Amino acid sequence: MFTIGCHLSIAKGFAAAARDAGSIGANTFQFFTRNPRGGKAKPLDDDDLRSFATVREQFGIHRILAHAPYTLNPSSAKPETREFALQTLADDLDRMERIMPGQLYNMHPGAHVGQGAQAAVEMIADALNAVLSPGQTTTLLLETMAGKGSEVGRTFEEVAAIIERVELSDHVGVCLDTCHVWDGGYDIVSDLDGVIDQFDSVIGLDRLRAVHLNDSKNPRAAHKDRHEKLGEGLIGFDALAAVVNHPALEALPFYLETPHDDLAGYAGEIERLKKARVEQRE
Ligand code: FE
Ligand code: FE
Ligand code: ZN
């Protein structure tokens, strides 16, 4: 089964977001748990969550991915920023258990802001050790980053170093962003097999739980992180079609985070990917 969707707004509630997903041919979606720049999350509405469950059944949505705010930085030099990260993570993970148990929650690992990657890796792992609990059903994903500024998680080694330090690491996985790994220097265009082998030997493919499917406005190793519409960037449509068809990745959920002003843009990309997925199969 092809699990494909995109980033959607939950401003009108979860049921409305699931309807939006269904209307564009998606069977999964990603959403921000709260304003991406931080702040308080809207209280959960039990009526909305009940109709969310109904709409999910209607459209065959069995997987959702939450995204933490960008401002979350558990490896900040400032104690108040680290405290905000801890509170937000704990609150979001609680909410996920109510929104839909057994799902995925993705975060950008952090930025070391001059303290060095090693110190940051330890601080991020400390934060995860503080917020993960054995009874939790949500899997927390660390996203692979482009390496913009002092971002941690550009290399598979950094991501692995965080996971190694997490006690309840059964609750931790990885979300691979195609734009980010490309901008980070991994050649998914000419050597997708090699990149996947590297991921497997450094992190382990069993950790990989989701893919962000984006083209990039920039050349490989640019360390920029500017997403582009599929086929309009320097990764190109064929390389992204190869990602959704790769035997090691095909069972994962794929999420578009491409720059579109309306749902029609996503609908077109989903349609095109579904065709690419079938054509390469036959
Ligand atoms: Fe992200
Ligand atoms: Fe992403
Ligand atoms: Zn990005």
DSSP symbols for 109-132: -EE-TTS-HHHHHHHHHHHHHHH-
Residue for token pair 């108040």:
80
CA–CA separation, 158 vs 80, rounded Å?
24
Contacts of 137 (CB under 8 A, 6+ apart): 97, 101, 102, 103
Active-site hit among 158, 183, 228, 257: 257
Active-site hit among 180, 183, 207, 215: 180
Q: Is 62 a catalytic residue?
A: no
Are residues 97 and 136 in contact, defined by beta-carbon separation less than 8 angstroms?
yes
Structure tokens at 185: 């220097």
Q: What is the mean pLDDT of residues 97-115?
A: 96
Distance 118 CA to ligand 2 centre (A): 23
Active-site hit among 20, 158, 177, 183: 177
Are residues 26 and 6 in contact, defined by beta-carbon separation less than 8 angstroms?
yes
Q: Is 108 a catalytic residue?
A: yes
Reported as a single tens digit per residue, the pLDDT across 113-162 is 889 999 999 999 999 999 999 999 999 999 999 999 999 999 999 999 99
Distance 49 CA to ligand 1 centre (A): 24
Ligand of minimum distance to the alpha carbon of 184: 3
Q: Is 50 a catalytic residue?
A: no
Are residues 119 and 153 in contact, defined by beta-carbon separation less than 8 angstroms?
no
CA–CA separation, 281 vs 268, rounded Å?
20
Distance 282 CA to ligand 1 centre (A): 33
Position 18 pLDDT exceeds 80? yes
CA–CA separation, 217 vs 198, rounded Å?
24
pLDDT of residue 281: 54
Distance 80 CA to ligand 2 centre (A): 26
Instruction: Please report, for residues 61, 138, 172, 208, the alpha-carbon distance to residue 269 in angstroms, rounded to integers and kept in the order given.
Output: 18, 28, 29, 23
Reported as a single tens digit per residue, the pLDDT across 183-230 is 999 999 999 999 999 999 999 999 999 999 999 999 999 999 999 999
Contacts of 16 (CB under 8 A, 6+ apart): 10
196: left (phi over 0), alpha (psi -120 to 50) or beta: alpha
Q: Is 112 a catalytic residue?
A: no
Distance 107 CA to ligand 1 centre (A): 7
Give the amino acid at 167: E
Reported as a single tens digit per residue, the pLDDT across 221-254 is 999 999 999 999 999 999 999 999 999 999 999 9
Residue for token pair 């036959």:
282
Put simply, whether the predicted model's pTM sits higher than 0.95 gets the answer: yes
Reported as a single tens digit per residue, the pLDDT across 248-272 is 999 999 999 999 999 999 999 999 9
Reported as a single tens digit per residue, the pLDDT across 49-59 is 999 999 999 99
Q: Is 177 a catalytic residue?
A: yes
Provide the CATH topology of domain 3-281.
TIM Barrel (3.20.20)
Structure tokens at 10: 């939950």
CA–CA separation, 268 vs 248, rounded Å?
25
Contacts of 101 (CB under 8 A, 6+ apart): 137, 138
The counts of H helices and E strands in the chain are 9, 12
Q: Is 260 a catalytic residue?
A: no
Residue 11 is given by DSSP the state: T
Active-site hit among 34, 56, 63, 67: 67
Q: What is the mean pLDDT of residues 53-78?
A: 96
Q: Is 80 a catalytic residue?
A: no
Position 82 pLDDT exceeds 80? yes
Q: Is 212 a catalytic residue?
A: yes
Instruction: Please report, for residues 25, 74, 106, the alpha-carbon distance to residue 63 in angstroms, rounded to integers and kept in the order given.
Output: 14, 27, 13
